[in-house]
Each structure stands twice: as C-alpha cells, then as structure tokens.
Amino acid sequence: MEHPRMAVFLKFFQKDIFWILLLAFTFRNIYQQLYGGVFYNADTVSYTYAANNIFKGIIDELRTPGYPIFIRIVQILGDGNFLSHIITAQHVFSFLSIVPFYFICKSWIKSRVLVFFVSIIFALHPILLNYNNAIFPESILISSIVVLLYFISTLLKAFSWRKLVLVQLVLLWLIMLKPGMVVLCVLINTTLFFQLYKNRGSHLLPGFMGIIMIVFALLGGYCWLNSKQNEVLALSTVTHDNNFMNVILSSAYKEFPDQRLVSIIDTTIQTGKYYTVYYLNNDFEKNKNRFESFPDYYPYTENMRSIQRIPGNSYGYDRENIDPLVKQAMKTRSYSSYLIWKFEAFAQRNFFGVRGVIIYLILMLDFLLITFFLFAKRKWKWFNIFLLISAAGLIVTSILAGIDDDTWERVLLPVIPFLLILIGIFLDNLYYLVKEKQKMTNE
C-alpha cells in the first residue's frame, strides 16, 4: 500500500507547475552561464548611495527608498561583493514569482495548454532574465507586480478587507520602488472603486475610501519629508529630469522666456541630452558624493564616466529655477506635437522583440473582447478590465514621461506580466467563443 505522503509527493510531480519550474530552473541556469554577469551604470551609483544613507533616516531626493532598502538589507546580510549578492537575490525572487504567475493564469484561463505556455514565456523570457542581472529595481518590480496581480485575482474571486489591505501595501511598495507606479495605484484603485460599487453596493465604499486616504496620506508624508530634507515637494526629482529632457528633445525649450538659457541649451545639447540636463540642474556636488561612495573595486562603465565628468554650471541655473520654465514649456503647442509624434514613434519601435504597433493591437483586441462580453453576454470581465487599464496606463506613461532612447524599453518593462496574461485570456476566450458558435451551428 502506497504511503499517503509519498502519494502527495508523486502527485506534485504530475502537476504542470512542477514541469514549468523544472524547465525554468534548467533554462535559467544555462542562460546565466552563457549570458550572465553583473550589469550596472550611473543609475546604480545613485541607488547604492541612497542605500548607504537609508537606515540613517536620510531621504534621497533622486531615489525612492524601496530598492535602496533592498540593497542595504543584502549588504548587511552579505559580504563585500554585494552586487553579486543582489543579483542572486533578484534571481531567487524572480524564480519564485513564477508560482503566483502560474496560479493567476490557472484562475482565469480555462485551457491547460495556454496556461502552460503563457507561464513558460514569463519564466523564460530573455528580457526579464537579463534584468535579473542588472542593479536596477526592474527585476524586483516585476516580481512584485506579479504578487500584486495575484492579490487582485484572489480579491476578485472572494472579497475580504485583508486582501484589499494587501493590495494597497503592495501598491505602496511598487511606488517606493519606482515613483511612476503611482499611476498604477490610481488606475487600480479607481477600477476597484467601480468594481466594488457595481458588485457589492455602496456600503463598502466608505471603508475602501478610508484605506485609500491612508495610502495617499503616507505618500504625502513622504513628499513632505523629502521637502524638509531636500526642498523637493515630490516623490523624486526624476520626474523633473525626464520632463526637462523631453522639453529639450521637443525643442519646446526654444519658447523659454529666458533667451540666455535657450542659448546655453543650444550649445550644450551638442554634448548630449543627459549632459545638458545634469549640467543645468547643477548636480555636480551631489554626483560627486554619489560616485565617491561607490566601491572602487567595481570598474566604472563608460556611462558612469560620462555622468561623473559633468561639471557644475556657473550661470546660476539649477533644478529649482528651471522647473517652472519646464512646466510652462510643457503647455506649448510644440510640446503637444512632440507627444503625438511619440505615440507614432512607439508604434514603430521594437519592445521585447515585438513592434509597438502589435502592443497597440493587443490592447485594442482586448478592449473589443471586454466590450463584446459586456453588451452581448451582459458580463463584466473585471480582471481583464484591471489588466487592460493597467497595461494601457503604463504604456501611456512610458510615452509621455519616457525618453526616446534605449531606456524606453526599460521603462516599459513592467507591462510584460499584464500583456502576457491579457494575451492568454484573449486567446482562451476566443477559442471557447468559436467552439460555442460551432456548437450552436451544429444544433
């Protein structure tokens, strides 16, 4: 007679998740041997600098504390070679995120084959694996987004206040990893508001709004602390830097009322857009402190050397007095035309091995699917709605705030889990709709 524990053990080997994890473990190890390493640049310098100060109560104006806290914990637990330990930790969390991703797919996709293949694509996608080897927050961000989607999935299946609080905590964590995730927070909570109202009535809304107010009070408190320590009333100065860079790339800066500044930009832009922004922001002393804190046993990359060499300007310009001009320039017609062009440029660019126009098409098809179920079947596909709104919001944010260079794909990276699940659900629904149509025809 077979032992009960042995039966459970053998049953696990028969499950798809076992084979997915086995394939992922094997492929990832081979891929790591072939293409692995430690990749870092000037962004890494700013994250490690923030990490050195985070437990001293010092808020970094450039970096929100999520990834610096992660780095600091790894530093404390590890030895001097902390970048390699960060890479190891990122690989572990990335591998573990395959499990909730699989169960999300299993909850919303009927086809076992589709669940398997969508999970495998997530587990083996080279772009995701590459960022596991980079000292940037994207790897941890994507693993955390999968956890968020798992909590939302379970919340939609059966509401509880505990699950709702967990969703908010993960959203806060995402914002602390990347401030741009505040867009995701707003979109998800807006959708949750309507979903609760539609499915459960208005009696839950006061409690829900109370939780949301606490979330935004915490974000406001962080902005206040940043203002007190750094005179920056925002989550991060990255928003200003990206806006300034886009204003330069759009040529909207030519409409600055300060023609002296226009002439300086005309000259410095020949050296590069990053040089121009950091030079005029007058970040020399801050950058100097950041680079001096970076371990000297890690050789500087060309990107790091180019940022380190940027001097301070003697014109009296800095981030504080340039920011109002940038915000004014963003209201001009030339800047609006530039943003329209970026939507067109997105369609022509390659992201994750596919053209942007294909991503547009995926969103459009899923919108049509949601609309069909709403009007033809009188059914709200709430999880699809969450995925579609979140994916569209992240894409639009990347277009409006991202830079049209090799960093654009990195900014767009968090959309991958949303798109993969959307594609899986779309194909699954399409298959069963066709099957249903054929059955009705035969009858």
pLDDT one-digit tens code per residue, 251-309? 999 999 999 999 999 999 999 999 999 999 988 888 999 999 998 889 999 999 999 99
Tell me the domain boundaries of the chain. Answer: 15-230+349-442, 238-337
258: left (phi over 0), alpha (psi -120 to 50) or beta: beta
Is the CA virtual torsion 241, 243, 244, 249 positive or negative? positive
pLDDT bin (cut points 50, 70, 90) of residue 202 is: confident
Q: Is 353 left (phi over 0), alpha (psi -120 to 50) or beta?
A: left
- Estimate to the nearest angstrom the gap between the alpha carbon of 68 and the chain centroid: 16
Q: Residue 355 forms beta bridges with which residues? A: 350
Q: What is the mean pLDDT of the chain?
A: 93
Range 184-207 average pLDDT: 93
Q: Which of 23, 162, 21, 165 is nearest to 97 (CA)?
A: 21
Amino acid letter for position 203 = H
- DSSP element (H, E) containing 16: helix 16-35
Mention every residue, 6+ apart, whose C-beta is less than 8 A from residue 335: 246, 247, 250, 252, 329
Q: What's the predicted TM-score (pTM) here?
A: 0.94
Over 70: is that where the pLDDT of 344 sits?
Answer: yes
At 349-403, the pLDDT tens digits run 999 989 999 999 999 999 999 999 999 989 999 999 999 999 999 999 999 999 9
pLDDT per position as a tens digit, 45-79: 999 999 999 999 999 999 999 999 999 999 998 77
